[in-house]
């Protein structure tokens, strides 16, 4: 685990909230990109999601480490408004994450099916010539 510099607990909590909100935005954006079937855009949001998850995990591990000398958990912060916002942001993210998971599961099933069709047809399809050479089996993801 990377050690984060020691700073006050509310600052850490504020950073945590900011990451939660950013991750929520990135998941929403990623979902929209996938629905539009824009794979490049989706991969860009996915990279952001991975980075934000990494940072969130780092902070969460510090917060969860009750033996850490830097923090006297479990009562880390004194700002109850901030705590409430983190609570709501966590709830919102978890709710969105369920939708994200459901969508990915169904979409991946469709993709796997189409990929199987492509594989089975790959050897049987011959390239067509002439003006309508673009009319081939559509299997795009």
Q: Any contact of residue 1 with other proteins (CB under 8 A)?
A: no
Nearest CA among 7, 46, 45, 27 for reference residue 100: 27
Which parts of 10-39 interact with other proteins (CB under 8 A)? 13, 23, 27, 30-31, 34-37, 39
For the bound state, the minimum distance from the C-beta of residue 1 to other proteins, rounded and expressed in Å, comes to: 13
Shortest distance, position 3 Cβ to other proteins, whole Å: 18
Q: How far is the CB of 52 from other proteins (least distance, A)?
A: 9
State yes or no: residue 62 binds other proteins (CB under 8 A). Answer: no
82 touches other proteins (CB under 8 A)? yes
């Amino acid at each position: 685990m990377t050690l984060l510099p020691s700073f006050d607990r509310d600052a850490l909590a504020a950073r945590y909230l900011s990451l939660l909100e950013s991750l929520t935005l990135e998941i929403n954006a990623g979902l929209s990109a996938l629905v539009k079937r824009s794979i490049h855009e989706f991969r860009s949001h996915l990279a952001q999601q991975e980075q934000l998850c990494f940072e969130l995990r780092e902070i969460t591990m510090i917060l969860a480490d009750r033996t850490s000398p830097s923090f006297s958990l479990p009562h880390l912060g004194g700002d109850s408004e901030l705590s409430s916002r983190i609570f709501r942001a966590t709830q919102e993210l978890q709710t969105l994450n369920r939708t994200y998971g459901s969508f990915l599961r169904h979409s991946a099933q469709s993709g796997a099916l189409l990929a199987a069709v492509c594989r089975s047809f790959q050897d049987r399809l011959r390239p067509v010539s002439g003006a309508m050479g673009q009319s081939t089996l559509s299997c795009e993801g």
